[in-house]
Amino acid sequence: MSRRETSLTHVLTLVVAREGGSLTQPLLDAACDLLRAGAPQVLSPGEAADIPCRALDAGELDRLRTTLRELAGATPLDMVLTKARGRRKGLLVADMDSTIVTSETLDDLAAEAGLFEQVAAITKRSMNGEIDFAGALRERVGLLRGLELAALDRVWAHTRLTQGAKTLVATMRAHNALTALVSGGFTAFTARVAELCGFDLHRANVLHDDGAVLTGTVGEPILDRDAKLRTLEELTAQRRLKPAATLAVGDGANDLAMLGAAGLGIAFHAKPIVAAQIANRIDHADLRALLFAQGLASSAFAED
C-alpha cells in the first residue's frame, strides 16, 4: 500500500438533492482535484458518491463546501465527512419535528387554538437556543389549555413525513441497527410517527388532558436536550456499542448535545445555531443522505 493510500483515512460523501440537479462528472473531478483524493465511488448515479480523502478539520470542510457549492452553481449540493473505518452505524437516534416530519407539531396545535404566531415565535427562539427549552415548552403548552383533543387528530391528518424518512429507518433496521425517535414534542405524535416509519422505540413529552380537552400541563421531567443525550448514551450502552457506532440527526438547539456526542451527528436542514456548530450537515438533500454517508449505495436501500 502506498503512502498516499494510507493517508486517505476519511471519505467525503457528496449528495445532490434529487429534484434540484445532478451530481456531474466535472463536479466530481473538481472535488477530487481539490482534495488530491482517490477515485470516486458512485453510490447513486447523478445523486451521490464517495471520495476517499485525508482528514479535514472543520474549517477546511467549510471552505471546501463553499468552493464546491460555488462550482455547483444552482445544483443543491451537500457533503458529509466520515472516517473510512466504521461507517455503518448500529444505532440511529432521530429528532421528530422538522426532521422526520416536515412540520412543528406544537405550532400546528397552536394554529388549532388560534395562537400560531404567538407559539411559533416562542418555538423559533427555543430552537435557536435563545431561551430555555423546558420553560419554553411549559409556556407554550399552557397556552393550549382548553384545546379539544380532536385537534390532535386534525394536526396528525396534515402531518407529513420528510422525504426519505421511511427508507432511512427501514434500511437501518435491515442492517441490524436500533432506531429511536426521541423528541421534545409529544408522545401523541411520536407514537404515530414511530409506527408509520417503523422505529423500534420512541420517547417524547406527555400532554395532559381531562378526557376532553388539554389541561395546559405536560408530564415532568421535560424531555429536553439533556434527556436526548442520555437516551443516546443509554441505548449505546444497551446495545454494547462504541460511541463511534452511533448516528444522530436533528435540527434544533435541543439536539446539539446528542449530535455532538454521536459517532456521526448530522444537522438536518438545521437552525443557524446548529449549522454553525455541527460540521456535517445536510442543507438540501433528503434523509436518504444519512444512508449515503454510511457508504450505502441506493441499491442496498430497503423498501419503505
Q: What is the pLDDT of residues 239-262, one digit of tens each?
A: 999 999 999 999 999 999 999 999
Question: Does any domain span residue 184?
Answer: yes
pLDDT of res. 146? 97
Catalytic residue among 50, 95, 224, 286: 95
**Residue 3 reports pLDDT greater than 90:** no
Domain count, the chain: 2
Examine the residue annotation and report whether 283 is marked as an active-site residue of this protein. no
Q: Which domain holds residue 131?
A: 91-281
Residue 261 lies in a domain: yes
Interval 160-186: pLDDT, tens? 999 999 999 999 999 999 999 999 999
pLDDT at residue 6, rounded to an integer: 60
Return the CATH number at 46. Answer: 3.30.70.920
Task: Please tell me the predicted confidence (pLDDT) of residue 304.
Answer: 61
The answer on pLDDT for 1 being more than 60 is no
Of 83, 109, 131, the domain-final residue: 83
Which is catalytic among the residues 97, 107, 251, 286? 97
Comparison of pLDDT for 128 and 47, the residue scoring more:
47
CB 125 within 8 A of CB 269: no
Q: Is it the case that residue 35 has pLDDT exceeding 60? A: yes
Task: Summarize the confidence of residues 142-166 as an average pLDDT.
Answer: 98
Shared domain check, 274 and 138: yes
- pLDDT number for residue 299: 97
Same domain, residue pair 96 and 77:
no
Shared domain for 128 and 273, answered yes or no, is: yes
Within a domain: 223: yes
Do 58 and 128 belong to one domain?
no
Is 119 inside a domain boundary?
yes
Q: 55 and 109: one domain?
A: no
Is residue 122 one of the residues assigned to a domain? yes
Same domain, 42 and 120: no
Q: Tell me if 198 is assigned to some domain.
A: yes
User: Kindly report the CA angle at 58 between 225 and 13, in degrees rounded to 5?
Assistant: 90
139 and 20 both lie in a single domain: no
302 in a domain, yes or no? no
Residue 5 has pLDDT above 90, yes or no: no
Given a cut of 90, whether residue 50 has pLDDT beyond it is yes
In this structure, what CATH number is given to the domain that contains residue 179? 3.40.50.1000
Does residue 157 have a pLDDT over 90? yes
**pLDDT greater than 80 at residue 229:** yes
**68 shares its domain with 122:** no
Are residues 128 and 200 located together in one domain of the fold?
Answer: yes
Same domain membership, residue 256 and residue 130:
yes
Whether 289 is in a domain gets the answer no
63 and 35 in a single domain? The answer is yes
pLDDT class of 38 with cuts at 50, 70, 90: confident
pLDDT at 110 over 90: yes
Active site residue 224: no
